[in-house]
Structure 1
Amino acid sequence: MAGVPATLSAPAAQIGGFLSKKPYAPPSWATHLSPMPSHTMSLGHFPTPIHKWNLPNLPEGTEVWIKRDDLSGMQLSGNKVRKLEFLMADALAQGADCVITVGGIQSNHCRATAVAAKYLNLDCYLILRTSKLLVDKDPGLIGNLLVERLVGAHIDLVSKEEYGKIGSVAKGLGYAMNTAEELKFVKDIAAATGIVLDPVYSGKAAYGLLKDMACNPAKWKGRKILFVHTGGLLGLYDKADQLSSLAGSWRRMDLEDSVPRKDGTGKMF
């Protein structure tokens, strides 16, 4: 065991590079960007895997493959990790001691920011939008809020109406709102393939994709599609009431009053 302390005390750069600062070399298509980031912070587990997605009722000869950015790490943070690698590196370069961001009450971005900040010893302040009926109440420990509060983020609530007056860009009525058909689609895909989509981005995108395939099968026949799953699983907690009638059923196990023990010495109750 003499080697264990040395292994544990090794710098992050020697343990797969996780949580280390690394130079940024842009791809060829991004070399014109200005200003160009000089460094990133290694926060995720990349590259994320790609595998065939066995979706039901695809057009003849059509293949769909899925890029699993939902497996990038950071407490199920999906593609949010990718932008935070740049944003956190910039915050540290400027000598910041805290970060502030804004989002909905179940924002995946806010939860990812709270985790990234704690990784890097920064304070995190979250301004979360909620309804005017709930803005003065404890928001609870559901979904993303559970993670945010466990890692010690400072949470300030603001009503959607207040936010709309002082800081928003005119949220379209459709953002983060779902029809019953869309939520049923998310449930059906999970039951058929084991892939759980989120209700805001990937769920709506996949719903639109398969709907168009059903309406225009000739357009998609024989094609190979790569679908990017951007994560957001915890956002489904905000839809729990709407999903309750769609989720799998349960029952109490029907047991007899007593069951003989295997050794025959008595009964198990």
Structure 2
Amino acid sequence: MKPITNIPKYRMKLTHENTPIHTWNLPGVPDEFKIFIKRDDMTGSTLSGNKVRKLDFLLAGAVAQGYKQVITGGQLQSNHCRSLAIAAREVGMKSHLLLIVNEHDESKISIEGNMLLNCLSAAKMYIVQKSQVGKAGLTPKFENLRQHIKLTTGEKCYTIPVGGSNEVGVFGYIEAFREMMNQNVCERFDDIVVTSCGLGNTLAGLAIGNYLTGSHLRCHGIDVSEQTNRVIPSIDDILTKLGLHHVKAENIVNVIPGYHGNGYGLSTREELEFITMVGKKTGIVLDPVYTGKAVLGLVQILNTRKEMFKGKRILFIHTGW
């Protein structure tokens, strides 16, 4: 097995590590399966979820290189943007967030949820209409803003891609797999399941960790986005950048499409009723955008396509809010 390349030089400890794993009596699961959950919704408090693990590496590199300001972007209520805003203040950096909206009347945007936390973290926010985002995504706007900040303040600005999804951010979940090995996941489970959305960076990190350690767990990503065809090419690109040219994404991950429901940030009645039931019966709170859709998908798959799984002991990674 060839060694991995381009390992980040820097890491900081924003994440509360060793998040617990415990049995999850998930309603609707066939009796033959045993479901467990890893609580990565407990990687922090306001600074929580899977995005924090990526920022351990991304922000560490920015700080080490002397950056004072950082830019990222995402949807209006982006968990990644909220995590970046809070983490940036923790390490003394200023944050700039480009937030995509569908609403043409910006006066209707309310300061609640992640938007409130962004404000409390002194993030500077820029509203971008979805119609203004082309095939290159937010990248051109990141560059324009970076140049503007350099000209007006004299300070260089670090740019983090949407979701923290690149060859640096992926190390958040490569290292998370190392943590999981110390929790004996290779002996205790047959399959790992995680929510997949966007570029599948969290799934990529878990799958690469699984591959590099020689583990025989099977990694599944239940895709809740409408652009499922981006996941495999994105993971292949990460593998290439890490020097794993001989490895193909399709051989180390199983992407399961079709669970986006009504679309990003939109919920069906079935999804909301399911999330409510899970909370009432198990005490686990799922969010309606990501984990709620994925867990509903997991239950449906276990009842209709159980042959997809390697075994009967399944670990779901709760990636937080």
Structure 2 unpaired stretches of 5+: 140-197, 199-224, 228-262
* Alignment match, 1:161: 131
1:71 aligns with 2:42: yes
Deviation at 1:222, TM superposition (A): 7.3
Cα deviation 1:79-129 (Å, max 9, x = unaligned): 111000000011112211111001101100000000000000000000101
* CA distance 1:221–1:214, change in 2 (3 Å): farther
* CA distance 1:67–1:101, change in 2 (3 Å): same
Aligned length: 202
Q: Mapping of 1:176-195 within 5 angstroms?
A: 176-195=265-284
- Aligned with residue 226 of structure 2, among 172, 175, 181: 172
- Percent identity, aligned pairs only, is 44
* CA distance 1:118–1:216, change in 2 (3 Å): same
Q: Which of the two has higher C-alpha Rg?
A: 1
Cα distance in 1 for residues equivalent to 2:292 and 2:131: 27
* CA distance 1:119–1:49, change in 2 (3 Å): same
* Alignment match, 2:67: 96
Deviation at 1:175, TM superposition (A): 3.6
Q: Secondary structure at the match of 2:107?
A: coil
Cα deviation 1:138-157 (Å, max 9, x = unaligned): 63221101111011100111
* CA distance 1:60–1:117, change in 2 (3 Å): same
TM-score (norm 2): 0.57
Q: Secondary structure at the match of 1:100?
A: strand
- Aligned with residue 113 of structure 1, among 84, 91, 95: 84
Cα distance in 1 for residues equivalent to 2:23 and 2:100: 37
Runs of 4+ in 1 over 4 A off after TM superposition: 168-171, 216-222
Contact 2:73 2:138 in 1 (8 A): no
* CA distance 1:52–1:137, change in 2 (3 Å): same
Contact 1:176 1:200 in 2 (8 A): yes
Contact 1:59 1:220 in 2 (8 A): no
Deviation at 1:163, TM superposition (A): 2.0
Cα distance in 2 for residues equivalent to 1:44 and 1:219: 32
The RMSD of aligned alpha carbons is 2.6
Structure 1 unpaired stretches of 5+: 1-28, 233-269
Deviation at 1:207, TM superposition (A): 1.0
* CA distance 1:138–1:124, change in 2 (3 Å): farther
* CA distance 1:218–1:167, change in 2 (3 Å): closer
Deviation at 1:220, TM superposition (A): 6.7
* Alignment match, 2:241: none
